[in-house]
Structure 1
Amino acid sequence: MADWEVYAIKYADRNARTRADSFILDDNHDTPHPMDYYMWLLRRGQEVILVDTGYDLQEATARGRPIRLDPAEALAPLGLKPEDVTQVIVTHLHYDHAGGLHLFPNATLHLQAAEMAFATGPCMCHDALRLPFTAIHVCEAITRLYSGKLVFYDGDAQVADGVTVHCIGGHSRGLQSVRVRTSSGWMVLASDAAHFYENVFARKPFPIVVDMENMLAGFDTLERLASAPGLIIPGHDPLVREYFPQVLADHIFRLDGGPTKDVRA
């Protein structure tokens, strides 16, 4: 079968952050450290798989974290309308990854069973663990379940030819990364298994963590799954926009050709 095209779609950013928000035990904790927010699109001929959905204006207002572009509108330069999307891999149920599920009404969701159990279980009694979740997003996933549009996985699994998911956990109990066969080799959309290149390459954990051991082991898993270090795509790093070419619009970056420079330099 043919390889997949892979696109990073930036819909928001947040600049009022420091390195203390991104890394545990960092010496330069008060240095500014911006964050980008992405969705990812996989395309092979007429096949389309969306990885995560971003969050909408309502969530942006509620959290005081503005978006630059509505996730449903962000796909337009790729010739897609929200109703065209029939498959969505949900890496985890945090607001910035599952906050737009309702925008894609025809989509079947692909989710780790551990993530649903986590987001609906007793761990949500703790404010610190519940903070990245929004109830209405979790309820949307449950609605898809009851309408027959949710597929659960327990660990590693194949979603389509050349597309597999791998449960890593750490940041959230059922966090999964996505491995995609491209013309450059096996690419891994880390999502929040590595928010930034520095998380994985310098082995610096991200502060929002459920299981530190799983997070650290996950860095090894990302490197094992990818054909080369440059094919690990972190979930929130602005450097993605420097390493990969912009195409079609100023918020879309094509990944499958590989990076234009050494990401470990």
Structure 2
Amino acid sequence: MSVWEVHAIKYADRSARTRTDSFIFDDNHDQPHAMDYFIWLLRRDDEVILIDTGYDAAEAANRDRPIRHDPVRALAPLGITPGDITQLIVTHLHYDHAGGLHLFPNATLHLQAAEMAYATGPCMCHDTLRMPFTADHICEAIKRLYSGRVIFYDGDGQVADGVTVHCIGGHSRGLQAVRVRTQAGWMVLASDASHYYENLWLRKPFPIVVDLQDMLDGFVTLENLASHRDLIVPGHDPLVRQVFPQGVADHISRLDKGPTRKIEISS
């Protein structure tokens, strides 16, 4: 069975955050707690699958959350152009994961049906639940649907040999994690099922949540899917770039060979 390369591409970061932004229950709520923003690329011979898109300069300006690399430019060191992306797994439709759908016009989207229903349904009448979404991004997903280029999943599904998706929910109704066969074993790209190692390892929920039980149950699911816990890659933790080796550029990390040092977290 062949294995996939896995690349984590950092396109933005935020340092003006505290631990209260990352954990519902935390004694050190006022301490700084930085966040990195990633998209991920899977590659096997001539096959490529993009996982999430990040967001572009216009969204960065609208939300006052600058990006360091436009998603297209961020992928360039890997020799990838927008037209090369024909398969795009969307872990969920929040702005920082689906804000660049329009940048990849050839892509078929792989999405949980529950996520589309959530982002277009009555829950969006609530400002708090609507906050992480942007209407233009949802409209782009709907346009892709009407052009016949959305594949929906209801729970678990296979995107390609060695690549499966698994509905976790919690943070968003149809949030899905991605399981990938690598030379280090079965790796799980958690996306926002666990923003940080600390969310998962210490069972500390992230504050943006639609269903807390699903989030907590999802931690168990992530552990069951991975060959071992060190192969669960959180969606926003700066520690990822410290424990995995640098890839072909300083904003890219190579994940598929596994971490190069012990993962240690402090609360």
**TM-score, reference length from structure 1:** 0.99
Query: In structure 2, what is the Cα distance between the partners aligned to 1:40 and 1:224?
Result: 21
SS state at 1:136 partner:
helix
**Counterpart of 1:40?**
40
Give the residue type in structure 1 aligned to 2:10.
K
**Counterpart of 1:113?**
113
**Counterpart of 1:197?**
197
Give the residue type in structure 1 aligned to 2:224.
R
SS state at 2:186 partner:
strand
Give the residue type in structure 1 aligned to 2:46.
Q
Query: In structure 2, what is the Cα distance between the partners aligned to 1:24 and 1:224?
Result: 24
**Counterpart of 2:210?**
210
Give the residue type in structure 1 aligned to 2:48.
V
Query: In structure 2, what is the Cα distance between the partners aligned to 1:50 and 1:30?
Result: 35
SS state at 1:137 partner:
helix
1:261: how far off? 1.3
Query: In structure 1, what is the Cα distance between the partners aligned to 2:229 and 2:113?
Result: 29
Query: In structure 1, what is the Cα distance between the partners aligned to 2:62 and 2:12?
Result: 15
Query: In structure 1, what is the Cα distance between the partners aligned to 2:91 and 2:218?
Result: 14
SS state at 2:39 partner:
strand
Gaps of 5+ in 1: none
1:153: how far off? 0.3
**Counterpart of 1:170?**
170
Gaps of 5+ in 2: none
Query: In structure 2, what is the Cα distance between the partners aligned to 1:60 and 1:18?
Result: 20
SS state at 1:151 partner:
strand
The aligned runs of 1:149-188 (5 Å cut-off) are 149-188=149-188
**Counterpart of 1:141?**
141
Give the residue type in structure 1 aligned to 2:120.
T
Give the residue type in structure 2 aligned to 1:154.
D
| 1:29 counterpart = 2:46 | no
1:247: how far off? 1.4
Between the aligned residues of both structures, percent identity stands at: 75
Give the residue type in structure 2 aligned to 1:63.
R
Query: In structure 2, what is the Cα distance between the partners aligned to 1:34 and 1:69?
Result: 18
CA distances 1:35-62 after superposition (whole Å, capped 9, x unpaired): 0000000000000000000000000000
Query: In structure 2, what is the Cα distance between the partners aligned to 1:145 and 1:70?
Result: 25
| 1:258 counterpart = 2:258 | yes
Query: In structure 1, what is the Cα distance between the partners aligned to 2:250 and 2:111?
Result: 30
Give the residue type in structure 1 aligned to 2:88.
V
Query: In structure 2, what is the Cα distance between the partners aligned to 1:24 and 1:123?
Result: 21
Misfit runs of 4+, over 4 Å: none
| 1:102 counterpart = 2:102 | yes
CA distances 1:186-215 after superposition (whole Å, capped 9, x unpaired): 000000000000000000000000000000
1:262: how far off? 1.8
**Counterpart of 2:20?**
20
- How many correspondences in the alignment? 265
1:147: how far off? 0.4
Query: In structure 1, what is the Cα distance between the partners aligned to 2:178 and 2:263?
Result: 19
SS state at 2:41 partner:
strand
Give the residue type in structure 2 aligned to 1:20.
T
1:263: how far off? 1.6
SS state at 2:219 partner:
helix
Query: In structure 2, what is the Cα distance between the partners aligned to 1:148 and 1:58?
Result: 27
Query: In structure 2, what is the Cα distance between the partners aligned to 1:174 and 1:246?
Result: 31
1:123: how far off? 0.1
Root mean square deviation of aligned Cα: 0.6
Give the residue type in structure 1 aligned to 2:118.
F
* Kept after mapping to 2: 8 A contact 1:201/1:264: no
1:71: how far off? 0.2
Give the residue type in structure 2 aligned to 1:233.
V
The aligned runs of 1:4-83 (5 Å cut-off) are 4-83=4-83
SS state at 2:164 partner:
strand
1:264: how far off? 4.2
